[in-house]
Amino acid sequence: MPVVIALLITASLLVFVAYPLLAGEEASAHLSTLPVDVTPQVDLKNRRLVLYENMRDLEFEYQAGKIAQEDYEALREEYTAHAARLMAASQGLLRTSPEDALIEQEVARRRNRRRQATTDYVCPKCGYENPLPVKFCGECGQKLKSRS
């Protein structure tokens, strides 16, 4: 009897373990990849929090009379400079959030295409620089070579 129970437990645990692998695509589509633990933003914020805590400590120890004036001033200056660097880095990251980066990329791509267009659609007959991708010259009606 105990053996049967043990085998039953083992079998049900097998199902339990295999379940995530066997579950339908739909149910687990949004779970397919592991999320990142620490994004660059969170990491910078963490470091900033640590630094603020260090500064609070410094302030407290100075007030408690543990640190001489000159040490305190030198350290505070260094900490402040470090905090400023971290904040700048954080803001730099914010400006280029992933969505912004995608939009910027798309804009750059299109701008680039337009710039190309102005150089590519020059009429071989009259020399007019057509502004858009066109099949005929806007000035003299000359058929232009189609380009892709």
Partner 1 sequence: MNQLGSIGLIAGFAFALYGSVAGAVGGKLRSLRVTRSAERAVLAFTVMITVAVAALEYLILTDDFHGAYVASHSNRDLPLYYKIPVLWAGQEGSLLFWTWLLSLYSALVVWLNRKKNRQLMPYVVAVLMGTGVFFSLVTLLAANPFSELSLANGAAFRPPDGNGLNPALQYPSMVIHPPMLYLGYVGMVVPYAFAMAALLTRQLGDHWIRATRRWTIVPWMFLGFGICLGGHWAYDVLGWGGYWAWDPVENASLLPWLAGTAFLHSVLVQEKRGMLKVWNIALVMTTFFLSIFGTFLTRSGIVSSVHAFAQSSIGPYFAIFLAIIVFFSLTLLFLRLDALKSENRLDSVISRESGFLFNNWVLMAAVFAVLWGTVFPIISKAVENQTVTVGASFYNKTTVPMGLLLLFLTGAGPLLAWRKTSFQSLKRNFAVPLAAAGVVGITLFFAGIRNLYAWMSLFLSAFVATCVLSEFYRGARTRQKFCRESFIWALYNLTMRNTRRYGGYIVHLGLVLLFVGFSGLAFKSEGKALMQEGDLLRVKNYLLRCESLTSGDTPNYTYLRASLSVLKDGRALGTVEPERRFYKASQQPITHVALRSSLAEDLYTVLAGQDPESGKAVIQVFVNPLVAWVWLGGIVMLLGTLLVLVPSRVDREMDLLQAQPQAAEETQWL
24, 26, 36, 80: which one contacts partner 1 (CB under 8 A)? 36
Window contacting partner 1 (CB under 8 A); options: 23-31, 84-92, 103-111, 131-139: 23-31
Q: Identity (one letter) of the amino acid at 117? A: A
Q: Identity (one letter) of the amino acid at 7? A: L
Q: Yes or no: say if 142 and 121 are a contact pair by the CB < 8 Å rule.
A: no
92 vs 131 by CB, closer to partner 1: 92
Q: Does 37 bind partner 1 (CB under 8 A)?
A: yes
DSSP per-residue string spanning 52-107:
HHHHHHHHHHHHTT-S-HHHHHHHHHHHHHHHHHHHHHHHHHHHT-HHHHHHHHHH
Report in angstroms how near the CB of residue 69 gets to partner 1 at its nearest: 8
36 vs 132 by CB, closer to partner 1: 36
54 vs 133 by CB, closer to partner 1: 54
How many alpha carbons lie under 13 Å from residue 121 in its C-beta half-sphere?
22
Output the CA torsion sign for 130, 134, 139, 145. Answer: positive
24, 26, 95, 98: which one contacts partner 1 (CB under 8 A)? 98
7 vs 126 by CB, closer to partner 1: 7
Q: Does 24 bind partner 1 (CB under 8 A)?
A: no
